[in-house]
Structure 1
Amino acid sequence: MREQAPHLAQLAVRPSPASGSSNWVFRVGGHLALRLPRSDDYATDLGDEITWLPTLGAGVRTPIPRVEFVGTPSETFPRHWAVVTWIEGRTPTNLDASAQRSLASSLGEFVAELHAVDTDGEVGGAERWGYRCGDPVTDATDAWVDQAAATLSDLFDPTQVRLAWARLREVEAATGSRTWVHTDLSTENVLVRDGGTLAGVIDFGGLGVGDPAVDLLYAWDLFDAPARAVFARAAAADEATTARARAWAFPGPGLVTLAEYRDSMPERTVRLTRMVEAVAADVGVRLR
C-alpha cells in the first residue's frame, strides 16, 4: 500500500480471521479490508470480483463488498490485489428458530435480487466459471460420492450414502435462464445482526453465471426445515430448483469436504455432518 496506495498507507493494518483458503485478508483501518490472493487461480477469481461487484452491488439491497482500490503485480506481491469495504456482522451460528426464520427471509430476498441482476450477455456454465456453474449431477459427482462413501465408512453406512445419492441425483435439468450466482453462501460468507437479520454477504470469489439452485445448497447447513421453507419461498425457488439444490449440497460441500477436513476442522465437521444427514433425510434415508 505504501507503493501503490499511499492514501491508505497511514491506516493500521492487522490480520483478520476472515482469511480463508483463497485469500489472505487483513483489516485496514476500521472500514476496509485488504485481500491478497493465495494463487494465480484465486487471482483470476479476484479479477472477476473486481469486474462484476459494482454491477451486482447496484442490483441488491444487502451490503456486499465495494472495491475501493485495485493493486497491480509488483516485486512486493506478484498478483493483483484489492482493498474492499469491510462489512460488520457475525457469522450465523447457533441461531434460534426465530432468528433462523429472519435470516431465511432476508437471505432469500438477497438471492432473488442477485438472480435478477442482468448478466449482460456473459457466457454461463462450468467451462467459464467452474464446476459449480455447471450441472449438479455429473460423472465427477458420482465418483465423489462413491469415494466419500468408502472414506467415511466409520461415520456413515456406505450403502445408505449410495442409496441417498441414487435418490438425490434423480433431478430435472434446469430449464430456466442461467443467472448470476454467488455459489458459496456458507456460514463463513453470510453475516447477520442480532435477531438473525442479514447484515451482508462477502467473498464473491466463486461468482459466476449458472444454475440458480446452487445458491440454495447451504440451506441444509444454515436452517432447520421450517426456515428452509421460508428461504425457498423468499428466493422464489420451486420444488425442482430445491431438488437440484439438495443434489448440489450432498456431494461437494457435504461429503467431500467432510472427508478432506474432518481431522483439521472439527467445528465444520459437526455442521457438515448435520447437513448431509438433513439432505438425506429429505429423501427418506438415514445415513447411520
Structure 2
Amino acid sequence: MPRTFLISHSDLPEISAAIAEQFPDLPREYSVEGFGWDNLMVRVGTDHVARLPRRPEAISAIEFELAWLEQAAQSLTVPVPHIVGKGSPFSDYSVPWTINTWTAGIRGLSVPPEQRRSSAAELGRQLALLHRPAPRDAPEKPHRGGTLAQRTYLTQPQIERLPGQYSAVVPVWEQGLATRPYGGTPLWLHGDIHPGNYLLQDDHTLAGIIDFGDVCQGDPAFDLATAWVSFDAAGREDFFGAYFESCREETRLDQDLVPRAKGWAASAYVIAVLSSDLSTPDFVDMAQWTMGQLLHEP
C-alpha cells in the first residue's frame, strides 16, 4: 500500500542525486521551490523544474501531462511549461516524475486578489483560445469536465465534513446542480485553473499558465469557475468580457454557462478545499475568498 505522502522536502538529497544521474546535462543546482496540492517542485538551475507527485492520487496527472500537454496547450499565446524528460524510479520512489522548462513569473496566489485584475482579461482570452474542440480520445474526467451531477458522489461526502461556518456556500452548489447540463461539443479544458496555476508579471499582468496535470475534455464552465476564485467583481467583468469576445459562438450562446461555473466554483474550490486535510494555508485562504465572492456578488 503506498504511503500517503510519496515524497517531501526532506527527500531533497535523494531527488538531487536522481536528477544528477538521469539528467547529467542539467545544472547541478537544486532547491525546493514549493509544493502544491499534488506535486513537490524542485528547481533545477534557472531554466528547469522537477515535478514529483507527493500523493498517490496525483500520479495519473503526470501521465496526462506526458500524453496531452503539448497538444492541449498549443493554441495558447502565453508561456506554458514544456516537458523535457521523464524521470525513472529512485530509492523507494517508483512513480512517474518529469523535468519541465521553468516558466517565470509570480504565482497568482502570492498576489492579493484585488490586485489580480490586471490579468483578468488576458486570462479570459487565453481560456477562450484553449476551449476548442478536443479529439475523441482526449482524457475524460467527469468530476471536472463532466456534469455537476457527476460530481455529487464527491461533493456530498465533502459537505458532511465541511465546518459549519462554511455551510452557507452549499446552496450555491445546489443552484448550480439545478442548471441545465452542458450539451455542447466537448472542449479542451485546463482542468485546474486557479491562482496557484497561473503566473503574473511584476505589474500583475498574465505571465504564463502552468500545471496541466488535470487537462481533459468537457464543459468549459469548469475552467470559468476561476472567475470567482481569482477575481473580485471588477476583475470578473473584465474576465468574462474578454472570454465572450473570443470564445466559440456555441459557448457564447450557452445561457447556463455562468450559473454552472458558479456551481463548480462552490464544489471544487470551496467545499473540496475546506473539507480536506490536504489543504495548505494558501489554499484555505483562496477558498475563503471564493466563498465570499460567491455569497456577496453584486
Q: Shorter chain as normaliser: what TM range?
A: 0.7 to 0.9
Q: Tell me the CA shift for residue 246 of structure 1.
A: 0.4
Change in CA separation of 1:166 and 1:6 when aligned onto 2, cut-off 3 Å: closer
What's the counterpart of residue 103 of structure 1? 119
**What is the SS of the residue equivalent to 2:128?**
helix
The answer (yes or no) to whether the contact 1:141–1:252 under 8 Å persists in 2 is: no
In structure 1, how many angstroms separate the alpha carbons of the residues matched to 2:43 and 2:22?
Answer: 17
The counterpart of 2:219, out of the listed 178, 194, 211, is 211
What's the counterpart of residue 12 of structure 1? 29
The answer (yes or no) to whether the contact 1:181–1:210 under 8 Å persists in 2 is: yes
The answer (yes or no) to whether the contact 1:145–1:162 under 8 Å persists in 2 is: no
What's the counterpart of residue 49 of structure 1? 65
Paired residue type of 1:192:
L
In structure 1, how many angstroms separate the alpha carbons of the residues matched to 2:274 and 2:31?
Answer: 31
Change in CA separation of 1:268 and 1:36 when aligned onto 2, cut-off 3 Å: closer
The counterpart of 2:149, out of the listed 125, 128, 137, is 137
Matched, 1:86 2:102: yes
What's the counterpart of residue 293 of structure 2? 278
What's the counterpart of residue 195 of structure 2? 187
Matched, 1:62 2:78: yes
Matched, 1:248 2:264: yes
The answer (yes or no) to whether the contact 1:90–1:191 under 8 Å persists in 2 is: yes
Matched, 1:176 2:191: no
Q: Tell me the CA shift for residue 265 of structure 1.
A: 4.1
In structure 2, how many angstroms separate the alpha carbons of the residues matched to 1:40 and 1:163?
Answer: 32
Please provide the CA RMSD for this pair.
2.6
Change in CA separation of 1:254 and 1:15 when aligned onto 2, cut-off 3 Å: same
Alpha-carbon displacement from aligned partner over 1:206-258 (angstroms, at most 9, x marks no partner): 11112111111121121111221221232236442111110101122212311
Unaligned stretches of 5+ residues in structure 1: none
The counterpart of 1:125, out of the listed 120, 135, 140, is 140
In structure 2, how many angstroms separate the alpha carbons of the residues matched to 1:37 and 1:267?
Answer: 19
Give the TM-score, by structure 1 length: 0.83
Paired residue type of 1:85:
T
Paired residue type of 1:3:
E
In structure 2, how many angstroms separate the alpha carbons of the residues matched to 1:145 and 1:36?
Answer: 27
Give the TM-score, by structure 2 length: 0.80
What's the counterpart of residue 129 of structure 2? 113
In structure 1, how many angstroms separate the alpha carbons of the residues matched to 2:154 and 2:94?
Answer: 34
Paired residue type of 1:219:
A
Aligned residues: 269
Change in CA separation of 1:89 and 1:123 when aligned onto 2, cut-off 3 Å: closer
Change in CA separation of 1:34 and 1:165 when aligned onto 2, cut-off 3 Å: closer
Q: Tell me the CA shift for residue 143 of structure 1.
A: 1.7
**What is the SS of the residue equivalent to 2:43?**
strand
What's the counterpart of residue 46 of structure 2? 30
The answer (yes or no) to whether the contact 1:4–1:71 under 8 Å persists in 2 is: yes
What's the counterpart of residue 8 of structure 2? none
Alpha-carbon displacement from aligned partner over 1:85-113 (angstroms, at most 9, x marks no partner): 1111112322546x50x311110111011
The counterpart of 2:241, out of the listed 201, 216, 233, is 233
